[in-house]
């Protein structure tokens, strides 16, 4: 299987000390993954090798191409080889269960996907508004503010690849009491989300009601969209939200937190699910 990290040459300049030091550094591996269903390519994305079957299954689920993990019968790495003749494990072939077809085709794209964005190159904004089959807004979950604020720190404890490289994102799915059910890392924030959805779907059917998606990245449109399709009622992001993410969260009934760094966070949609501490101080600034 592919490497998560690799060593590369580095020359470090320290102007304060007038020092130049040459020594190797550890960086995250970024390689393409091509996903095929029935021999047809449905996506190619740049990802960190590892957990490729979770990524494949999660992508098919969060893109609305299959409705349940059981709709995918088998997954296998194709025997593609690199220039040196060694296996690359960069192609996954998925076979659907008998009597199952894709619920929707792969999106029309104008360019290849990168590790930066799950929906870059889609033909139109309307094309990326994948409809969720679940009424996420009706989820009655109540989320303690202290638990939500602590989730990024809890996620950080599981980011071993980030510790070595500083160059990968992480995603996790947690219970309302803060237990992380699954965590995955990847150079692509959307890939990390697909990986955790795919991993959890092996043990639990969609929708993932009463759970929280926590991400180390910003709250982008594709992150909120994937939460909606998976039936996840809350998203906690370390970084900033985008306008489309806020709009989609409000439309779909997802509680959206951003700038989450304990003890602070900001809620941009559905604050009614957040259980505030007793007698909280309040300002309108």
Least confident of 7-21, 101-115, 208-222, 267-281: 101-115
Instruction: Say what the pLDDT of residue 107 is.
Output: 64
Where along the chain do its domains lie? 31-128, 136-275
Quote the mean pLDDT of the chain: 90
pLDDT classification of 79: cutoffs 50, 70, 90: confident
Using the predicted structure, report yes or no on whether residue 2 has a pLDDT greater than 60: no
CA dihedral angle for residue 39, residue 55, residue 104, residue 34, rounded to 10 degrees: -40
Residue showing tokens 């025997």? 79
Is-catalytic flag, 117?
yes
- Of these residues, 95, 117, 141, 244, which one is catalytic? 117
User: Is residue 27 within 8 Å of 8, Cβ to Cβ?
Assistant: yes
The arithmetic mean of pLDDT across residues 245-270, rounded, is: 96
Using the predicted structure, report yes or no on whether residue 1 has a pLDDT greater than 50: no
pTM above 0.85, yes or no: yes
To the question of domain 136-275 being in CATH 1.10.1740.10, the answer is: no
Using the predicted structure, report yes or no on whether residue 189 has a pLDDT greater than 70: yes
Least confident of 69-78, 95-104, 124-133, 176-185: 124-133
User: Is residue 61 within 8 Å of 69, Cβ to Cβ?
Assistant: yes
- Would the CATH topology of 31-128 be identical to that of 136-275? no
The arithmetic mean of pLDDT across residues 186-194, rounded, is: 96
Residue burial 59-82, b: 16+ Cβ < 10 Å; e: rest: bbbbbbbbeebebbeebebeeeee
Instruction: Say what the pLDDT of residue 3 is.
Output: 81
pLDDT digits (tens, 9 = 90+) for 81-115: 767 767 778 999 999 999 999 998 876 543 445 55
Q: Which fold is adopted by the domain 31-128?
A: Ubiquitin-like (UB roll) (3.10.20)
Q: At what angle do helices 189-201 and 52-62 cross, to 10 degrees?
A: 90
Instruction: Say what the pLDDT of residue 132 is.
Output: 81
Instruction: Say what the pLDDT of residue 124 is.
Output: 44
CA distance 212 to 174: 5
- Helices then strands (H, E): number in the chain? 6, 16
Cis peptide leading into 270, omega within 30 of 0? no
pLDDT digits (tens, 9 = 90+) for 13-40: 999 999 999 999 999 999 999 999 999 9
pLDDT digits (tens, 9 = 90+) for 138-147: 999 999 999 9
């Amino acid at each position: 299987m592919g490497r998560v990290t690799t060593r590369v040459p580095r020359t470090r300049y320290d102007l304060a000390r007038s020092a130049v030091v040459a020594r190797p550094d550890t960086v995250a591996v970024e390689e393409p993954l091509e996903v095929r269903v029935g021999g047809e390519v449905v996506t190619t994305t740049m990802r960190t090798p590892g957990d490729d079957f979770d990524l494949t299954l999660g992508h098919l689920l969060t893109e609305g191409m299959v409705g349940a993990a059981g709709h995918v019968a088998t997954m296998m790495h194709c025997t593609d080889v690199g220039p040196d003749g060694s296996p690359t494990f960069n192609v996954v072939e998925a076979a659907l269960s008998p009597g199952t077809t894709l619920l929707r085709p792969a999106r029309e794209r104008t360019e290849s996907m990168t590790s930066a964005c799950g929906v870059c190159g889609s033909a139109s904004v309307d094309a990326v508004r994948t409809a969720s089959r679940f009424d996420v807004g009706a989820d009655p979950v109540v989320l303690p503010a202290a638990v939500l604020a602590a989730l990024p720190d809890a996620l950080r404890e599981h980011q071993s690849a980030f510790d070595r490289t500083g160059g990968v994102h992480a995603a996790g799915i947690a219970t309302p009491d803060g237990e992380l059910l699954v965590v995955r890392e990847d150079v692509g924030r959307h890939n990390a989300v697909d990986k955790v959805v795919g991993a959890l779907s092996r043990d639990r059917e969609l929708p993932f009601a009463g759970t929280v998606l926590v991400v180390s990245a910003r709250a982008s449109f594709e992150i909120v969209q994937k939460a909606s399709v998976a039936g996840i009622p809350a998203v906690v992001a370390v970084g900033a939200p985008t306008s489309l993410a806020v709009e989609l969260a409000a439309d779909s009934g997802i509680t959206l937190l951003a700038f989450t760094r304990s003890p602070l966070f900001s809620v941009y949609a559905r604050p009614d699910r957040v259980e505030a501490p007793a007698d909280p101080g309040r300002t309108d600034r």
